[in-house]
Amino acid sequence: MDQQVIVVEDYLDKITNFGFEYAPKLIGGIIVLVVGLWITKLVTKAVGKSLAKSSIDQSLIPFLKSLTNIILKALLIITVMGMIGIEMTSFVAIIGAAGLAVGLALSGTLQNFAGGVIILIIKPFKIGDFIEAQGFSGTVKEINIFSTLLNTPDKKLVIIPNGPLSTGALINYSTEPLRRVDWTFGIAYGDDVENFKKAINQFIADDDRILKDPAGFIGLSELADSSVNFAVRVWVNSADYWEVFFDMNEKVYTKFPDYDLNIPFPQMDVHVQNNK
């Protein structure tokens, strides 16, 4: 009976000692946890307000707020666990190993995710811009966190992953207000060069969409096998680019004969020599 009493007293002593040893740590951890959650809420709210006032894309703000909240809470939990005496070295190592395994398994997805964040922050293009990237050209329809959607001129929907899109070469045709339209027109050998310049200058003058400043350019670019080729360059507003391009081609084809100009085509002269 006395041995049972001694055993009970030993347990009570151990519990009491444990309480005196860990109770302050536990209470301190609870206080830090409560205060930390309150501070985390305030910081997350302040980050959201700051992002809302910045030029960051609105679709990115909820993600950045959530990311800030998760990081702060993770740091808070690790701090509290360390305060109450839990060994964190092994715990952190396990989390790191798990994170590495997940990262390797989702490397492509994470690359696209990171690319989407970069695109939304840097904004190399926006919805409505006409871009050329990854072998495709089209108007930007949507910018998602993992991919960007393009509408091609022939109404096809192209989905481009944001990873390669953010790291590869990209042409944005909508960034600048003006674009230069380039043509190469050929006339036959023997045609009057001055007639050619007169015709092109008249076509340019008749089109109000072609800008007078910067001025256009006409220059002989090549003496080819079957034609004398001229480079013609004019400036237009970006929205008028294709209409001006196609209209000029049509004018050249239909009105060159009015200026005694011939559109050449590849041909071969065969000389037969009779040696008899």
> For the segment 80-138, what is each residue's pLDDT rounded down to a tens digit?
777 776 666 656 666 666 665 655 554 557 788 888 888 888 888 888 899 999 889 99
CA distances from 234 to 16, 27, 102, 167, 199 (A): 91, 77, 54, 32, 15
Q: Are residues 191 and 165 in the same domain?
A: no
Closest CA to 174 of 214, 124, 209, 116: 124
Residue 128 CA, distance from chain mean position: 13
CATH of the domain at 1: 1.10.287
Of 86, 104, 138, which residue is a domain's last?
A: 86
Q: Are residues 235 and 207 in the same domain?
A: yes
Classify residue 264: in a domain, yes or no: no
Q: Are residues 5 and 42 in the same domain?
A: yes
235-248 per-position pLDDT tens digit: 999 889 989 999 99
CATH of the domain at 209: 3.30.70.100
Of 145, 172, 199, which residue is a domain's last?
A: 172
Q: Are residues 156 and 195 in the same domain?
A: no
pTM: 0.57
Classify residue 214: in a domain, yes or no: yes
Range of the domain at 252: 178-259
pLDDT, position 87: 64
Q: Are residues 182 and 142 in the same domain?
A: no
Q: Are residues 208 and 136 in the same domain?
A: no
pLDDT, position 30: 79
Give the 3-state secondary structure of the chain: CHHHHHHHHHHHHHHHHHHHHHHHHHHHHHHHHHHHHHHHHHHHHHHHHHHHHCCCCHHHHHHHHHHHHHHHHHHHHHHHHHHCCCCCHHHHHHHHHHHHHHHHHCHHHHHHHHHHHHHHHHCCCCCCCEEEECCEEEEEEEECCCEEEEECCCCCEEEEEHHHHHHCCEEECCCCCEEEEEEEEEECCCCCHHHHHHHHHHHHHHCCCECCCCCCEEEEEEECCCCEEEEEEEEEEHHHHHHHHHHHHHHHHHHHHHHCCCCCCCCCCCCCCCCC
Buried/exposed 193-218: b ≥16 CB within 10 Å, e otherwise:
eeebbebbeebbeebeebeeeeebeb
Q: Are residues 255 and 182 in the same domain?
A: yes
Residue 142 tokens, joined: 């949507």
Cα distance between residue 175 and residue 192, in whole Å: 40
Q: For the chain, what is the domain count? A: 3
Q: Are residues 30 and 68 in the same domain?
A: yes
Q: Are residues 139 and 190 in the same domain?
A: no
Residue 263 CA, distance from chain mean position: 43
Classify residue 5: in a domain, yes or no: yes
The pairing of strands 136-143 and 130-133 is antiparallel
pLDDT, position 182: 96
Residue spans of the chain under pLDDT 50: 1, 106
Q: Are residues 8 and 80 in the same domain?
A: yes
Classify residue 34: in a domain, yes or no: yes
Classify residue 29: in a domain, yes or no: yes
pLDDT, position 100: 59
Beta-carbon contacts of residue 96 (< 8 Å; ≥ 6 apart): none
| Burial class of residue 138 in the structure, from the number of CB atoms within 10 Å of its CB (0-12 exposed, 13-18 middle, 19+ buried) | buried
pLDDT, position 89: 64
Classify residue 240: in a domain, yes or no: yes
Cα distance between residue 133 and residue 119, in whole Å: 13
Of 25, 54, 86, which residue is a domain's last?
A: 86
pLDDT, position 188: 92
Q: Are residues 11 and 60 in the same domain?
A: yes
Classify residue 183: in a domain, yes or no: yes
* Amino acid found at 42: L
Closest CA to 186 of 139, 252, 137, 125: 252
Classify residue 273: in a domain, yes or no: no
